[in-house]
Amino acid sequence: MSKVFERSEEVLDKIITIQQVIANVFLFFIMAIITFDVLGRNLFNQPLKGTYELTELGAALLVFFALAMTHRKGDHITIDFLLDRFSDKMKRIINGMVEIVVAIVVFFMARHIFENGVRMMERNSTTTDLALPVHPFLFIIAFTLVIFMFTAIVKAFTYLRLAVNEK
Amino acid sequence: MSPELIGVIGIIVLLLLFVFRIPIGISLIFVGTVGLAFIRDWDSALVQLGTTPFSTASSYSLSVIPLFILMGMFLSYSGFGRDLYTAVDAWIGHIKGGLAMTTIGTSALFSAISGSVNATTATMARISLPEMKKYRYDDALSTSCVAAGGTLGILIPPSVILVLYGILTMEPIGKLLIAGLVPGLLQMLLFMILIYVMVLRKPTLAPVTEKKLFMVKIKSLSSVWPFVFLFALSIGGIYYGYFTPTEAGGVGAFGAFILTILTRRLSWKHFKTSLSETTRLTASIFFIIIGADIFSKFLALSTIPVKITHFVSNLALPATGILMLILVVYLILGLFLEGIAIFVLTLPVVYPLITMLGFDGIWFGVVMILVMNIGLITPPMGLSVYVISGVAKDVPAQRIFKGVLPMLLMMIVCLLLIVIFPEVVTFLPNLMR
Amino acid sequence: GGESSSSSEGEEHELDFSHFFPPTHFMEEEIQTFASDLEEATDGRIKITSYPGAALAAPDEQFNAAATGSVDFALSVHGYTPGEFPLTSVMELPFMAETAVKGSKNLWQLMNEFDEFNDEYAGTVPLWLYTTDPGQLFTVDKQVKSIEDLKGMKIRSPSPETSEWLEALGATPVSMPMNENFEALERGVVDGTIAPWEAVKTWGLDEVINYATVGNFYSTTMFVVMNKDAFNSLSEEDQATIQELTGEKMANKTGEVFDQFGNEAVEQAKEKGVEIYELTEDELAEWSEYINPTIENWIHNVEEKGLPGQEVYDRAVELSGK
Ligand code: NA
Ligand code: NA
């Protein structure tokens, strides 16, 4: 049981790391296209078609691709003055429960973003200038949220196991 | 249950979730969605959950936030940020709170290229916090300086929020933008005076460095040129019409990138770290903004903001009395709602009333910005504080909230000054044709 | 959606109307009038609360929100969700209407003549469609009277079709959100913009532009739809009342309001010294040579989707009286 858990944790780690790299690529990409668009427009009267919507898409994707890593590193912003007053064991139990809440909320987000993607696919929704279909992006985002959810579940396990092992 | 009651319960539950250390974004999404379900029904609430995250994350005004952050990361990891602070230290380090004042001053400068508080705050946090830490500044002081300085982003033109105000009220946008300039500088000055007094009373907040020789001062200037260059590029580019303030984020980040390459000051490792930290910080900020969006929709449907505003507007009071009450209501709404949501929900009631009472519409726009800025640094929904907390991981949000209190008082002083002397706002736009 | 108290004859419905216009915009007033007319006509059985300023759904999520029942009524711009309204977008093509009234009436008629439109509005009951007053070319430093004048100018474009023919005419199309348009014009990031007169007033562009070139280059089209289930939950009598109060009647009325506001915008712009140049028939014929390929592309693309693009376009031209 614990071996299966460790193996899947390894796979998850790999995915999260790859996602971080993809997020970084998107960031660099939007920086580059905005600059080239500005240069092209001013120097050659030739703007880069679709810069506006690619910037929007790139920023959205970089956010969702980075979410899981952000969560694993504990970078999501919280307020934690109350928790300091509890014992270590109690803290771990609460932290474990928090992770479960996170996983549930993110699960529903993933599910309904996926459903929204199906709707967009049926309606042939596209972006403005490049007419890229919108639904693949929603499916990708739903996937990144599933990874986010698993990250939270792994964290929950870790906290609760520590809490149980403590005397 | 009435929508108002559901709204009140929602706010209480939100605070409880915050206290139990559920991430701010998750708490907002959770309460917003469940609240929507109680007011309308589950189907429509879950549809919102499926549409708002992407729709918010892919809005252009937000897409440029990571780029401004990235510019700050490049400058910071390449050591240019440290150089700037060394230079400033050489010149004014012996003044009380010199670096803190520099942070405020640099924020004001930066506000001339950035139209949003988030972008200004995130960039300044990235550049100035590590340096102030190195000089052993009190972390409550350093973080509150960044929070306070960042609010100048929407006072000093360009300003996305003043443009929005102009569209909502049909006040002339050009005049509105100019109107924010003097109050912005006034607020900057008030912050600096406050810092001086605070450090005077408690010198340990900001350790003084010894006075440097004149030659050291001159030499320190040689390392400031990248900043001068980037500012000239960004400000010049915007004011000569080569690019928009939102595009300035992309151009600025690219400029910083090229600079660090040419000067060989950014290792591959630091390059990767800059990108990774930017994406993670962006993710944590966007996640809160997504939550705030869903929560705002819930609060809009609860009709609470509109009901309160209506109630106050209908009181039989003299003009200044009504104005004061409205400001108080805005301060309270600012605790829970994000600025743009406040604008949209209340302006249709408040703006006609304000102009009917004989107040100047442009002046009121600036007043609203000041009030909104206060909301940005007050708990529980203090977006600026969360942004800084994302950068300064060792400083917990509640400590920043506490440290920001004196700055808050200065912002209220500034607000009162502008209420008492409206000319501070109106004289500049009146000079325009 | 909405709350309904009992299932008896006197059933009451509290419904939400969602749109993106600022609460201070005249469309909010129109919606309020519609709401009170409907409440009166149904003896208070249907009460509508309006949520302006995209408080309930982003501008590009409005249709989705109505189709899924997240809101009961929604109003937005078709162009915000490209690809979803292929046939409706015929009215976005150049030279389709000289006024908002004509554009609105013709669009509503097309919608009723061609069954193929129904797919675009699946999940909703379209109540009325309308167009704003036609889009003109507004410039800051240089007056545009000929194709030659336009060459090399950076123009903010509202749609990919507009970008296409602007490029064909030798201009540089620039995409940017409307809320950046003012500062972009003021600073010279763009030299001009294509927008309806209505938007010139709404966004205060007359503070920065100095010239207008009138050629009816574009129309912004908008919809008002109701969630299908919400509609079906009403009694037949109330359904009939809604349809009586909307449809061509509202298309016409909304068109009139946009025209009136557009005319006010023209007057205001003139007072501010904006010079207006109207392209003559001959000049427009010359422009058309560059613009026609865009129209043919539009027809081709729509036909490729298995929709009657040619037929709808021809009928739209016929209705426009050209
Ligand atoms: Na600014
Ligand atoms: Na607040």
pLDDT of residue C25: 86
Considering every ligand atom, which ligand is closest to the CA of B111?
Answer: 1
Q: Looking at beta carbons, which residues of chain B come within 8 Å of A94? A: 20-21
| Average pLDDT in chain B | 87
Q: Compute CA distances B264 → A35, B79, B260, B270, whole Å.
A: 21, 11, 6, 12
pLDDT of residue C6: 43
- Nearest to residue C269, comparing CAs of C207, C216, C182? C207
**A8 vs C241, more confident:** C241
Q: Looking at beta carbons, which residues of chain B come within 8 Å of A59? A: 57-58, 62-66, 282
**C74 vs B41, more confident:** C74
pLDDT in tens, B202-248: 988 888 777 778 888 888 888 778 878 888 888 888 888 899 888 88
Among B209-223, B237-251, B374-388, C63-77, the least confident range = B209-223
* CA B120 – ligand 1 centroid, Å: 8
- Nearest to residue B289, comparing CAs of B43, B136, B66? B66
| H/E segment holding residue B369 | helix B361-376
| H/E segment holding residue C13 | strand C13-19
User: Count of CB atoms within 10 A of residue C215's CB?
Assistant: 23
b/e map of B252-290 (b: 16 or more CB within 10 Å)?
Answer: bbbbbbebbeeeebbeeebbeebbbbbbbbbbbbbbbbb
> Residue C219 contacts by C-beta under 8 Å, 6 or more apart in sequence?
C91, C92, C96, C97, C103, C131, C132, C134, C135, C196
* CA B148 – ligand 1 centroid, Å: 14
* CA B406 – ligand 1 centroid, Å: 23
d(CA B116, CA B164): 12
Helix/strand/coil for B286: helix
In DSSP terms, C74 is beta-bridged to C18, C225
pLDDT at A108 over 90: yes
Q: Tell me if C82 and A53 make a contact (CB, 8 A cut-off).
A: no
Q: What are phi and psi of B136, to 5 degrees?
A: 60, 40
* CA C123 – ligand 2 centroid, Å: 39
Q: Looking at beta carbons, which residues of chain B come within 8 Å of A28? A: 275
pLDDT at C10 over 90: no
Portion 243-282 of B in contact with C at CB < 8 A: 243-246
Q: Looking at beta carbons, which residues of chain B come within 8 Å of C203? A: 167, 173
How do beta strands C192-196 and C172-174 pair? unpaired
Global confidence as pTM? 0.89
* CA B115 – ligand 1 centroid, Å: 4
pLDDT in tens, B297-317: 898 888 888 888 888 878 888
**B265 vs A75, more confident:** B265
pLDDT of residue A81: 66
Say what the alpha-carbon torsion angle A114, A119, A124, A130 is, to the nearest 10 degrees: -40
pLDDT of residue C2: 45
Residue B1: both structure tokens together? 């249950």
> Residue C148 contacts by C-beta under 8 Å, 6 or more apart in sequence?
none
Q: Tell me if B24 and A20 make a contact (CB, 8 A cut-off).
A: no
pLDDT of residue B433: 53
* CA B116 – ligand 1 centroid, Å: 6
User: Count of CB atoms within 10 A of residue B291's CB?
Assistant: 28
pLDDT in tens, B37-71: 999 889 889 999 999 999 999 988 788 889 988 98
Range of the domain at A146: 2-165
The residue written with tokens 């910005």 in the block is B369
Q: Report helix, strand and coil shares of chain C as percent, to nearest 5.
A: 50, 20, 30
The residue written with tokens 């969700």 in the block is C81
> Residue B344 contacts by C-beta under 8 Å, 6 or more apart in sequence?
B168, C22, C23, C52, C53, C54, C55
Q: Tell me if B300 and C57 make a contact (CB, 8 A cut-off).
A: no
pLDDT in tens, B133-170: 888 889 999 999 999 999 998 899 888 788 778 877 87
Alpha helix (H) ranges present in chain C? 26-41, 62-67, 100-113, 147-150, 160-168, 181-187, 197-202, 228-232, 236-245, 247-271, 281-304, 309-320
Portion 340-379 of B in contact with C at CB < 8 A: 341, 343-345, 347-348, 351
Residue A15: band (very low, low, confident or very high) from pLDDT cuts 50, 70, 90: very high
Q: Compute CA distances C266 → A152, B347, C213, C233, C259, whole Å.
A: 58, 27, 12, 44, 10
> Residue C112 contacts by C-beta under 8 Å, 6 or more apart in sequence?
none
Please answer whether residues A64 and A109 qualify as being in contact, where contact means their C-beta atoms are separated by less than 8 angstroms. no
pLDDT of residue A1: 61
Nearest CB partner across the interface for B347, out of C2, C24, C54: C24
d(CA B69, CA B278): 6
Helix/strand/coil for A132: coil
pLDDT mean over A54-72: 95
d(CA B90, CA C85): 63
Please answer whether residues B180 and B159 qualify as being in contact, where contact means their C-beta atoms are separated by less than 8 angstroms. yes
Please answer whether residues C170 and C237 qualify as being in contact, where contact means their C-beta atoms are separated by less than 8 angstroms. no
pLDDT mean over C238-249: 94
The residue written with tokens 């009162």 in the block is B416
> Residue C255 contacts by C-beta under 8 Å, 6 or more apart in sequence?
C99, C100, C101, C102, C103, C104, C105, C130, C131
d(CA C210, CA B430): 21
| H/E segment holding residue C15 | strand C13-19
Residue C25: both structure tokens together? 């915009």
Judge whether A98 is closer than 8 Å to chain B, CB to CB. yes
Q: Compute CA distances C260 → C109, C132, C187, C257, C264, whole Å.
A: 22, 11, 30, 5, 6
pLDDT of residue C9: 54
Residue C7: band (very low, low, confident or very high) from pLDDT cuts 50, 70, 90: very low
d(CA B183, CA B411): 11
In a 10 Å sphere around its CB, with 0-12 CB exposed, 13-18 middle and 19+ buried, how is residue B312 labelled?
Answer: buried
Chains that touch B (3 or more CB pairs under 8 A): A, C
pLDDT of residue C316: 95
> Residue B65 contacts by C-beta under 8 Å, 6 or more apart in sequence?
A59, B116, B118, B119, B122, B249, B282, B285, B286
d(CA B310, CA C77): 30
Tell me which amino acid residue B374 is. Answer: I
d(CA B339, CA B371): 9
Q: Domain residues of chain B, as ranges?
A: 3-431
Q: Tell me if C174 and A47 make a contact (CB, 8 A cut-off).
A: yes
pLDDT mean over C112-123: 94
- The residue in chain B having the minimum alpha-carbon distance to the alpha carbon of residue C188 is B241
Residue C203: band (very low, low, confident or very high) from pLDDT cuts 50, 70, 90: confident
The size of the B-C interface in CB pairs under 8 A is 120
- Nearest to residue C68, comparing CAs of B36, B10, A53? B36
d(CA A59, CA C261): 37
Q: What are phi and psi of C159, to 5 degrees?
A: -155, 160
For C150-162, give the DSSP string: HTT-EEE-SSHHH
Structurally, chain A folds into a number of domains equal to 1
Q: Looking at beta carbons, which residues of chain A come within 8 Å of B33? A: 108
| Average pLDDT in chain C | 92
> How far is residue B160 CA from its own chain's centroid?
12
pLDDT in tens, B62-103: 888 899 889 888 888 888 877 877 887 788 778 888 889 988
Residue C110: both structure tokens together? 């097309």
d(CA C216, CA B297): 37
d(CA C204, CA B173): 7
Tell me which amino acid residue B23 is. Answer: P
> How far C29 CA sits from the closest chain A CA (Å)?
30
ipTM, interface predicted TM-score of the complex: 0.90
d(CA A33, CA B105): 31
Please answer whether residues A167 and A87 qualify as being in contact, where contact means their C-beta atoms are separated by less than 8 angstroms. no
Residue A113: band (very low, low, confident or very high) from pLDDT cuts 50, 70, 90: very high
- Which letter does DSSP use for residue B338 in this model? -
Q: Tell me if A27 and B250 make a contact (CB, 8 A cut-off).
A: no
pLDDT of residue A39: 95
